[in-house]
């Protein structure tokens, strides 16, 4: 067994990535964890990186995808906004549609690829 090739979808807005596989996963994790720090922990990334990704997303969209609160019983927390849930849902739909549409092409394309070369 070797890993196989994966098609990945990114939504580029100008020079910055508004949405992509990593950011979508982060949104999922924030939704589940209820905080940026919790999401970062379970994704094995630094809080700073997670916070920067969130900042990029919030700047890329009309309405912030993520809403943070400081203090409180649990020290604060972060939740997805309505726009956040919508953007995530739509991205996942596009991702799935792309995967499905390209499945046959990917089969062919994969035959050209070097099964080794994990890099």
Q: Shortest Cβ distance from residue 108 to DNA (Å)? A: 28
Longest alpha-carbon distance in the chain: 55
Residue 108 binds which entry of its own copies, DNA, none, with Cβ cut-offs from 5 to 8 Å by kind?
A: its own copies
Which tokens is 97 given? Answer: 């549609």
- Fill in the per-residue mask, 5 to 34: x = in contact with its own copies (CB under 8 A), - = not in contact: xxxxxxxxxxxx-x----------------
Q: Judge contact between 18 and 28, C-beta under 8 A.
A: no
Q: What are phi and psi of 7, to 5 degrees?
A: -85, 135
Bridge partners of 76, per DSSP, are 70
Q: Shortest Cβ distance from residue 37 to its own copies (Å)? A: 25
Q: Which residues of 80-103 are buried (b: 16+ CB within 10 A; e: fewer)?
A: beebbeebbeebeeebeeeeeeee
**Counting contacts by CB under 7 A, is residue 37 touching DNA?**
yes
Binding residues for DNA restricted to 67-86, rule: CB under 7 A: 68-78
Positions in the binding site for its own copies (CB under 8 A): 3, 5-16, 18, 59-63, 83, 86-87, 90-91, 93-94, 97-98, 101-102, 105-106, 108-109, 112-115, 117-119
């Amino acid at each position: 067994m070797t890993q196989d090739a994966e098609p990945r979808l990114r939504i580029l807005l100008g020079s910055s990535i508004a949405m992509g596989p990593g950011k979508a996963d982060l949104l999922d994790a924030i939704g589940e964890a209820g905080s940026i720090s919790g999401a970062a922990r379970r994704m094995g990334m630094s809080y700073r990186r997670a916070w920067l990704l969130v900042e990029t997303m919030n700047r890329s969209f009309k309405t912030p995808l993520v809403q943070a609160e400081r203090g409180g019983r649990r020290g604060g927390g972060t939740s997805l906004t309505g726009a956040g849930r919508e953007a995530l849902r739509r991205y996942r739909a596009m991702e799935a549609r792309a995967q499905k549409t390209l499945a046959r092409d990917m089969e062919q394309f994969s035959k050209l690829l070097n099964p080794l070369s994990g890099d």
